[in-house]
Every structure is written in structure tokens, then in C-alpha cells.
Amino acid sequence: MTLGRWMTPSELERPSRRVLLLLLFIAVLVVYSNHFGNSFHFDDFHAVVDNPAIRSLGNLPRFFTDSTLFSVLPANRTWRPLVSASLAVDYWLANGLNPAAFHASTFLLHLALMAVLFLLAERLFEQANPGGANRLPALLAAALFGLHPLCAETVNYIVQRGDLYATLGVAAGLYLYGARPEWRGWGLYLLPAAAGQISKPPALIFPALLILYIRASENRRWRDALRDAIAATAAAAAIGALTAAMTPATFSGGAASRWNYWITQPYVIWRQFTNVLAPAGLSADTDLTAFTRIGDPRAVWGILFVAALGAAGVRLLGRARTAPVGFGILWFLLANVPTALYAVAEVENDHRAFFPFAGLAIALGWAVALLWKRARSLFPRPALAAACAGLTLAAALGWATHARNEVWRNEASLWRDVTEKSPHNGRGLMNYGLTLLAAGDSEGALKYFEQARLYTPNYYILEINLGVAAGSLGRDVEAEAHFHRAQSLAPGDSLPNYYYARWLGSKGRIEEALNRANQAMRANPADQRPAALAAELRSAEAARAAELARLERDAAGRPTAENLLSLSLLYHRMRRFDDSIRAARGALQIKPDYAEAYNNLAAAHEELRQWDAAIAAAREAVRLKPDFTLARNNLAWAETQRNREHPAANHLELTADRRR
């Protein structure tokens, strides 16, 4: 079918490809210039920061044979060897965990992807408008993708470069298939696609996209396109089977209900589409939850939208002039299929939209070109109007992306944005609380942790953090209760034992801490933190033993009140409460008005649940030293606990006080 050149070079001159790409690269570099110093985030910690496997180039071959090297967390281990290998190379180049080197690597790949999208789009547009001025619409498609804030998460989120590899592999495979027909017999176009497929499974959709590409770019029958995609289908099936075999049994998607997840996905696709057109609500961790019934109006709307968009894509693909639009729409829908079918804990993430958006950018680039053909007669100087509109759009997208990069600056900025954009996300509230805890604001952190409990009441990580925050505020009973609940929620996980061990060690309970650290090591040998903690605890235990021997030796010789008080405190940390009481009483024999010794007595009696003795000792400490805050706290705690256990005694005491 001959279309005629309805957008000709004389109307819109063909600038050099190199010049166009150079201008685009410069624009993208300016937009992303503020992101190179951004910190690690989220899954970066278990796959990069805490992962010893990426610290040696000697592991490069093992990444392809041992999927446990991807992460230190068993539930997150999957087979993405190219991603792990690239992280190891970045670590080597940076000589450590310098985020700038990792960001530079990802950014260069982003530029390469834009170049491939430009070339791919130009080939598609050439088929729809042979001999016409198709480079500027192709540039528009690449610029929409490269400058759009929807892509900022993937570019900033280091470990999610897998989405970038997958998209680049698929786009490069399609381009090579069309641009180098002489290579088809050798299957060379399958190589970049295969690289994308071992980076992230959504790239396994390549054969379906190849069929659409053959139909759109070569206008061949469906039967012929299916036949020509047999090799790609066989290769994808083999890589898919290998990926499934290499994925450890410990890997867990975390979805509570597959059905609920599935019926939510059409609505998620609708949200992706609207985020392309109006990206104001982007969030690193959305608070959208899975629908519980298919009759939910949002589920119904999502299904209707996907059906209508799919029908439009098929119809547009069947017409040579609009085939690029149909191809891009169907790419958008098909690229969502893998993540829509494989149920995971989060129903949506911005980085999952990266691969689908590449197709939609092609569709939008050509749709704008079609609309411009109809509208350019309305402008007295159409070339100038087009240039102004393009620059305005690029500036708006660039500004939004630059601002989005600032959100990813550090953990505090990222999770503060999440709490604002997704206020019902328990994990987001918890993670922002963690940034407050790291800054020393334990009260503020606990406030956010308690808010998070409303939305994620059975999240073991949240229970760990509640324990850490309560412990930092001296609420030891609460802290221990949270650590125990975290263990009950995740009995096979190493993290509850590790953080419980850290807290126990801070309380001087070395033997218990060592036991918990050893349990954490057995649960996850790949995590080096429990082993490091155990080494610290053993060192502390040796130092404490030496200190105990010295104090006991001094107490047996010529004791002082201060010496015995130190011995009492050390016995308390070792949970030798009777010995702590004995040493404190010895100090009082030497120094009867020693308020600190009375306070130690109170603390030891509290641990033994001897409330009356604890109250009497704490009152004496306060009498001797009225501004003794620690003694006042011990007194209040002991009185509260006794009143809970013996309310009748409390009533009698109050009555006696009134009579006096």
C-alpha cells in the first residue's frame, strides 16, 4: 500500500540524527544533574549495601550459577545475574559503596535506551510515512520517555536497573530485527533480548512484541509474523524455564491473595496511563491496596479501560498510517502482563511502569505527529509553533523530573514524600519514622510507628522497629514484647533475632544476646551483621569478665561505696539481681545516705517483681535526692506495676494516707 508523503522533508527538514541525540542527551544530563549524589534506598540495602557478593569481581561467573548471591535476604533472592554483575563492576570502579558510580552506570544505560528508542521509533514512523520527516516525531517519543518524571524512580533506584536492562534489551532486539535483516538467520537480534530477559522476567514478553513489530513495520500477515517469531518464542521459553529453575525456593512474592492482586491490576494500568499524562501523584511506595471483590467500581473501570485501550490498539495497528500508535499501545498493555500475573506484595510500583511506558512513548510521539498534520494549517508559522510547543513540553517534564530527583536525595526526603503522597501506607510511615529514629528523635519515630500499625498490624519489621524505638526510650518491657512478637510473626527470619540481640547487648545481657545472634547467623548465614555482632559481644563479654574480676577483688579487699555501687550495676546488667542487691546493701553500710545505691536496690527488686521493696528503696532514694529523675521513674514504674497486680492493697494505702 502506497501512502504518499503527507509530512515531507520540505515542510519539516530532516536534521542530523547525531545532532538530535546530542541535544537530547544534553537536556537529559541537565535534568538528572542533581541525582548523582542521591543515596541508596529500599531494596538497595539488601542487594547492594549489605551484600558481600558484589564486593568481589571474582563472583562474576557465580552470579550466573548461584542466585543466592543476589541478596542477603532469602525471601528476596532471585536470578538476575546481569544486574548483580553490573553492581559488582560498579563497586569495583567506585572502590566501595559510592552511590555516584552506581548512578553514573545507570544513567549511561538510560541514554543508550533513549538512542535505541529514537532509532526504533524512526523505523516504525518511516513505514507509516515513507520518505517523510520522521526524525522529529521519533525525537519526541525518545524525549517524552527520557525526560518524563515517571522514569525517575528507575533511574534513581539503583537495584531496579533491571527494568532498564529489560527495556533496553527488548528495544534493541526489535531494532536489530528490523534494521539488520541479514542477521535474522543467525539469530543475532535475540542476543540483546536475552540479556534483558536474564535481567528481569518482564522482558520474556519479547516474542509477542516482535510479532506486533513485524505487523507494524513490515505490514505482513499475522500468520507470517507468528512464523518469524518462532525462534524468539523458543529462546524466551528456554530462558523462562531457566529463570524458574534458578529461583530459590526461599523467594517469596508476598501477596496475600492472588485473586485480589489480579483484579486490581487493570486499575493499576489505568493509573500508569494517567501518570504519563499527569504525573503529579508519583509515589515511591503507594498506599493502593488490593481490591477484595471484582465488583469494586475501580476494578470494573480498570477492566473496561484495558479492554477499550486494547481494542483501540488492535484497530490502529491494522492501519498502516496509525500502526505505530497501535503498536505502542499494545506494547504498553503487553509489557504489563508479567507483573500483572505474578502476584507480589505491592500492587503497584512506579518502576514497573518503566518498561510499558517505553511503548506508550512511541505511541504518543506518532499520535502527536498525526495531530500536528491536521493542526499545522492553523498556525501562520507552523515550524516555530512546533519548536515552541516542544521546548515548553521538554522544560515542563524536565523541571518535574529534576524535582523528583530531589525527593530521592536521601531516606528522609524520600519517605517524607511517601507519607504525604500515600498517607495510608504503613511501610512508608514506618520508614519515615526510621529516619527520625536515626536522627535521635525516638518520640517522633514512635509516633509514626504507631500510625503505621493501623495499616500494617502484622508486619514483623515494624515490630522490630517498635522494639528499637521503645528500647531507646528506656521502655524495656515494651521493647522486649515487640521483639518477641516480631519473632512470632517471622519465626524463620534472622532479623528479629539480630535486632533483639543488639538490644540485649546494649542492656548488658551478653549471654542472651549471644544466643540470639547465633540464632540469627543460623537463619541466614549470608548476612554478615549477626556474625559481626557476635564478635563484638564476645569481646564485650571478655571485657566485662575482667571488670567483674577487678571489682570483686576490690570488694573483697578494701571496698568503697563507689566500688560496690559499680559492682551492683554490673551484676544487674548480668541479670544477677540477688548479687546486685547484696552489693548495693554493702555500699549503704559504708555510705547510708547513698541515693544511687537505693536506686540500684529499687531496680533489682523491680526485676524480681518485689514491688513493695522496690517502692521503699526508690522512695528513700528520692527523699535523699529529690531531683533524682531515674529514681522517680523507678518509683512510678514500681507503683504502677504493684497497683496492677494488687489493686486492693492500693486502695488500703490510699485510705491510710487520707486518715493521716
Specify whether the CB–CB gap between 353 and 311 falls below 8 A.
no
pLDDT band at 4 (very low <50, low <70, confident <90, very high): very low
Per DSSP, the three-state class of 526 is coil
Nearest to 405 by CA among 639, 153, 615: 153
pTM of the model: 0.82
CB contact set of 338 (below 8 Å; sequence gap of 6+): 201, 202, 204, 205
Domain 582-659 has CATH 1.25.40.10: yes
Specify whether the CB–CB gap between 327 and 334 falls below 8 A.
no
User: What are 579-614's pLDDT values in tens digits?
Assistant: 899 999 999 999 999 999 999 999 999 989 899 999
User: What are 422-441's pLDDT values in tens digits?
Assistant: 999 999 999 999 999 999 99
d(CA 452, CA 429): 5
Instruction: Give the other-Cβ count within 10 Å of 637's Cβ.
Output: 21
CB contact set of 241 (below 8 Å; sequence gap of 6+): none
d(CA 169, CA 239): 14
d(CA 372, CA 449): 52
DSSP 546-613: HHHHHHHHHHHSS--HHHHHHHHHHHHHTT-HHHHHHHHHHHHHH-TT-HHHHHHHHHHHHHTT-HHH
Per DSSP, the three-state class of 254 is strand
pLDDT of residue 149: 97
Nearest to 349 by CA among 145, 157, 115: 157
Specify whether the CB–CB gap between 283 and 268 falls below 8 A.
no
Residue ranges covered by each domain of the chain:
17-407, 413-541, 582-659
Give me the CATH code for the 413-541 domain, please: 1.25.40.10
> What is the rounded average pLDDT of the residues 64-71?
95
The torsion defined by the Cα of 305, 309, 310 and 311, in degrees rounded to 10, comes to 110
Specify whether the CB–CB gap between 169 and 188 falls below 8 A.
no
- All three cell numbers of 20, joined, read 538530535
Q: Which residue has the higher pLDDT, 85 or 219?
A: 85
Q: What is each CA distance from 127 to 189, 332, 359, 366, 559, in whole angstroms?
A: 20, 20, 17, 12, 97
User: What are 333-383's pLDDT values in tens digits?
Assistant: 999 999 999 998 899 999 999 999 999 999 999 999 999 888 877 777 777
d(CA 319, CA 11): 24
pLDDT band at 280 (very low <50, low <70, confident <90, very high): confident
d(CA 269, CA 261): 13
Given a cut of 70, is residue 2 above it in pLDDT? Answer: no
- For residues 241-256, one letter each, b for 16 or more C-beta atoms within 10 angstroms of the residue's C-beta and e for the rest, the string is eebeebbbebbeeebe
User: What are 550-572's pLDDT values in tens digits?
Assistant: 888 888 888 888 888 888 888 88
- All three cell numbers of 299, joined, read 476494578
- The secondary structure of residue 344, as a DSSP letter, is B
d(CA 283, CA 270): 16
